[in-house]
Amino acid sequence: MLDLSVRIGQVELQNPVMPASGAFSTEYASVIDINRLGALVAKTVSRNFRAGNPPPRAAEVEGGMINSIGLPTKGLQYFLDAQLPDYKQYSPPLVASISAEDADDFQAMARDINVPGVDVIEINISCPTRKPGGGNFALHAEHAHDIVTRVRAETDKPIWAKLSPNAGEIVDVAMAAEDAGADALTVANTILAMKINVNTFRPALGNKIGGMSGPAVKPIVLRMVYQISKAVSVPIIGCGGISNAEDVIEYMLAGASAVEIGYVNFRNPTAMISIINGLEDWCNKRGIRRIADLTGAVRDGDMETDTYVAAAQGF
Amino acid sequence: MQDFHYASQPFVVGRSTDTDFPACTTVEETLTTVLSHEWVNDEYKHMVVTASPKALTVKPGQFFHILCPSSDEGDLWFRRPQSVYAIDREGGRLEFLYKCVGRGTHGLATLKPGENCNILGPLGIGFTVDSAWKNIVVLGRGVGLATLAPISQMAGDAGVGVTAILSARNKEYLLSHERFEKIGASIVPVTDDDGSSDIQNVERILLELIAAARADAFYTCGSNRLFQVMKRLGAQHGIPGQIAMEQIMACGLGPCYVCVKTFEVNGERVLRRVCVEGPVFDIQEAVGC
């Protein structure tokens, strides 16, 4: 009997497939059975209402999309009063995502969202389009450490720190987040990017620059997951360009315990269900009984580092 | 060991996912078959596809989010929203009338009869007709006329009189003339080449309809200029109105917040998502289209 369940610290998921924050809401229940997902990940909430960025907020690029939505939110109180009960109609664990403009507010947000019904707190310290000093704490190890420490002080709930691929040394940031008490790391957010319309000479996005996601970023983020998994012992949630079951397997082999899926939901809203079905098929065909065994199972330990020896061995 | 079998489909445009849709869902991502696909003129194409029972629940003004094939060597990475042009519930078919403007619609135009097309829907909030209304006015330009055709059909079927002011560059681009004729609409064509589409002339026509008590409600799509005049006259004469709007869209279901437009509600500016809070909005709350 195939076991698709995975464990992220204290949280058990029925399978490793979750939506990425910002690419999902209970509105997806109009097209798929969202009770089949490993967990439900809510859109990032801030303390107060935010309108978000000017349109156009997204553009197609080769291999995916760029976006600059700007974290629109109706605010924390609306999340607690309306969205939380809405999410709790469904069975998978709920991952709430929080952001804040400064460290004090981040700490206060963690305190205020530490309520029954929230199973995990994902801290979005990596939204790429926030202004410098305005919430993009995952660019620097010491900032990430500070935020995770403050959040840790306010809650016993599992904390997932969502890292930025735009950090110069993402492994250092990952280690800092682990050291400060993060229970898991979500790797990663979108990669800073731009598109210019050559007919109008205008940036394609109202915010001029944005973050890229989609299949084109997968090899880049997969490398980050691989390197981080060698450096930390907390579980990693891979997030970047996943569009089919093989992509999930690849992330798990690189060291991820679970995945979050964003872009492809926009193109194929049934994709997450198809991917869960595909994981079952893949494991059954390969005779794999526990999908969790794939985490970090990349066969790299015995790879010959001497070029001539490797070549002689037929590699 | 080499294994070329993909457990889930590789990332290829047009492929659908083999998912069971729970009965409670209102939206489907499905593969339809193209039945016919003809050029109407050098810019507009008319596509007829098969439709599932769920797809056929679509109402005028609602839309489908279409995964267009590419017309070049690349792939398309977003769907393209298209409102329905006609709904044939008995025949199990849907019709789309669209203008080829960019990669998505040019890609869509490459589909041949017999080929599959991945559509997601029905989506959004459509038009409404109040049973107390005796006569409505629809005012559209270009491809906006395609969006107004099904609501005119629905009103006509309900015994409501329809005046259709159809605006275009010239007679060749007066889309759906026959369609509106069949509905029994009173048609007022206005074109740029003879100057009849001038905003002053359209305003004069609308004022005549209001004076003749033939304008219980306004409907518009496809032109910011025409929308502004309908909004102003609607406010002055207390005539309710509805507008179908467009915006660059990603998910089509609500959560991504890409397709926002500005609206004015009780003097306050608010953002609304075209995909789930529209695409049909109260004309008095719309600011620009």
The span from the CA of A228 to the CA of A171, in Å, is: 5
B40 sits in the region (left: phi over 0; alpha: psi -120 to 50; else beta) called alpha
What pLDDT is stored for residue B76 in this prediction? Answer: 86
Is the confidence at residue B6, as pLDDT, over 50?
A: no
> What does the pLDDT average to over A255-261?
98
Task: Say whether B135-282 and B28-123 share the same fold.
Answer: no
* B28-123 fold: Elongation Factor Tu (Ef-tu); domain 3 (2.40.30)
Q: Which residues of A touch B120 (CB under 8 A)?
A: 31, 269
Of A65, A269, A278, the CB nearest to B77: A65
Instruction: Map out the domains of chain B as residue ranges.
Output: 28-123, 135-282
Is the confidence at residue B14, as pLDDT, over 50?
A: no
Which one from A127, A224, A245, A291 is the annotated catalytic residue?
Answer: A127
Instruction: Map out the domains of chain A as residue ranges.
Output: 6-312
Q: Please list the residues that pair with B123 across neighbouring strands.
A: B63
| Residue A72, phi then psi, degrees to nearest 5 | -65, 140
Q: Please tell me the least confidently modeled range out of A84-93, A282-291, B3-12.
A: B3-12
Higher-confidence position of B12 and A260: A260
Which residues lie closer than 8 Å to B238 by C-beta, 6 or more apart? Answer: none
Query: Taking CA A176 as the corner, what is the angle to CA A45 and CA A40, rounded to the nearest 5 degrees?
Result: 35
Identify the residue among A4, A57, A198 best suited for mutation to test binding to B, counting B beta carbons within 10 A and taking the highest. A57
A207-253 pLDDT, tens per residue? 999 999 999 999 999 999 999 999 999 999 999 999 999 999 999 99
User: Is B7 in contact with A281 (Cβ distance < 8 A)?
Assistant: yes
Q: Which residues of B touch A266 (CB under 8 A)?
A: 78-79, 250-252, 256
User: Is A27 in contact with B5 (Cβ distance < 8 A)?
Assistant: no
DSSP state of A30: G
Q: Please, what is the average pLDDT of chain A?
A: 95
Q: How many CA atoms lie within 13 A of A230 on its CB side?
A: 11
For A:242-261, CB contacts with B below 8 A are 243-246
Neighbours of A288 (CB within 10 A): 17
Find the Cα–Cα–Cα–Cα dihedral A177, A182, A188, A193, rounded to 10°: -50
> What does the pLDDT average to over B234-262?
97
Whether A283 is a known active-site residue: answer no
* B135-282 fold: Rossmann fold (3.40.50)
B121-156 pLDDT, tens per residue? 999 999 999 989 999 999 999 889 999 999 999 999
Judging by beta carbons within 10 Å of its beta carbon (0-12, 13-18, 19+), is residue A26 exposed, middle or buried? middle
Of B6, B76, B78, the CB nearest to A244: B6
- For domain A6-312, give the CATH number: 3.20.20.70
A166-217 pLDDT, tens per residue? 999 999 999 999 999 999 999 999 999 999 999 999 999 999 999 999 999 9
- Chain A CA closest to residue B78: A267
